[in-house]
């Protein structure tokens, strides 16, 4: 009997992570769904998905959780959140926490998964980035910066791991109807005060962003894309998914910096 390939998915309790866990389990993979709140995943055990505790902000938690699996052929780095704040008003803890989850956490999990993949002479790492890893937006500077970093990590790791038959991909989703706007957006209290010098940007931009997320694409689209990447060894390095990503990423490539910025300002009434 052919051995099932082991998949580890971080941030699997909701949204893209949960949808991916469900699809890959259905397709016959051995899926480990990681979360800081694994009790939220208990219903998935009926779907042959194994919930595990992992806090990607804690190096010891990551090391212990990954080593306990013993084998990983596919890693989906999905966990993350967004900070809404001006650069002038964020505090040091907010800045560190944003990078600690979206970048350092991703690197921690990847660091411990790589030896298991090398021992198996192959593997796949899929980093869930964002179309905002190529496009800046005001008040999302820290989130943008982390996703730009994820794109850099992806590009560098492809070279680093090529000799070990380990593929590295990034997915740049647009806005999706997940729990992101409801649960995974953190806000700086000063930026949202009436007296903030950035109040006009907040009032113009943030309602649009929240509405676009809440009315965005279905997370199952990302799950299906992840499955395609896994199954196709010749799949491109990075892929976009969702209406906003497919609109803005090609535009970003075609226009000058100045023209693109003008388009974004017009689109969001900035």
Question: Does the pLDDT value for residue 46 go beyond 80?
Answer: no
Write out pLDDT tens, residues 248-258.
999 999 999 99
Cβ-count burial of 43 within 10 angstroms (0-12 exposed, 13-18 middle, 19+ buried)? exposed
* pLDDT at res. 34: 96
Q: Which residues are CB-neighbours of 270 under 8 A, at least 6 positions away?
A: 138, 201, 204, 205, 264
**For this structure, is 143 an active site residue?**
yes
Write out pLDDT tens, residues 191-233.
999 999 999 999 999 999 888 888 778 899 999 999 999 999 9
Question: Averaged over 150-164, what is the pLDDT?
Answer: 97
In whole angstroms, what is the distance from residue 38 CA to residue 140 CA?
29
* pLDDT at res. 184: 67
Residue of 29, 53, 81, 143 marked active site: 143
Question: Averaged over 254-269, what is the pLDDT?
Answer: 94
Q: Give me the percent of the chain exceeding a pLDDT of 90.
A: 81
Q: How confident is the model at residue 178 (pLDDT cuts 50, 70, 90)?
A: low
Statement: 6-268 belongs to CATH 3.40.50.720: yes
Cβ proximity of 139 and 206 under 8 Å: yes
Q: Which residues are CB-neighbours of 64 under 8 A, at least 6 positions away?
A: none
Closest CA to 243 of 207, 269, 270, 267: 267
Where residue 121 falls (left for φ over 0; alpha for ψ -120 to 50; beta otherwise) is: left
* pLDDT at res. 48: 85
* pLDDT at res. 183: 58
């Amino acid at each position: 009997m052919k051995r099932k390939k082991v998949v580890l998915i971080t941030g699997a309790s909701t949204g893209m992570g949960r949808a991916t866990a469900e699809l890959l389990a259905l397709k016959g993979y051995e899926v480990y769904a990681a979360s800081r709140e694994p009790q939220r995943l208990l219903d998935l055990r009926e779907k042959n998905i194994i919930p595990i505790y992992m806090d990607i902000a804690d190096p010891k938690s990551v090391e212990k959780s990954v080593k306990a699996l013993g084998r990983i052929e596919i890693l989906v780095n999905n966990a993350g959140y967004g900070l809404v704040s001006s650069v002038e008003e964020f505090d040091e803890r907010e800045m560190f926490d944003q990078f600690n989850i979206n970048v350092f956490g991703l690197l921690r999990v990847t660091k411990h998964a790589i030896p298991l993949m090398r021992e198996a002479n192959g593997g796949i790492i899929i980093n869930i980035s964002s179309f905002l890893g190529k496009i800046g937006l005001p008040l999302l500077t820290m989130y943008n910066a982390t996703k730009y970093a994820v794109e850099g990590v992806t590009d560098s790791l492809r070279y680093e791991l090529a000799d070990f038959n380990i593929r590295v991909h990034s997915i740049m989703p647009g806005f999706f109807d997940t729990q992101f706007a409801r649960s995974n957006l953190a806000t700086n209290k000063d930026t949202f005060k009436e007296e903030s010098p950035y109040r006009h940007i907040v009032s113009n931009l943030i309602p649009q962003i929240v509405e676009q997320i809440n009315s965005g694409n279905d997370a199952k689209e990302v799950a299906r894309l992840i499955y395609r990447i896994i199954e196709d060894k010749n799949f491109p390095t990075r892929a976009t998914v969702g209406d906003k990503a497919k609109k803005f990423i090609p535009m970003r490539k075609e226009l000058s910096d100045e023209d693109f910025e003008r388009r974004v300002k017009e689109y969001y009434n900035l």
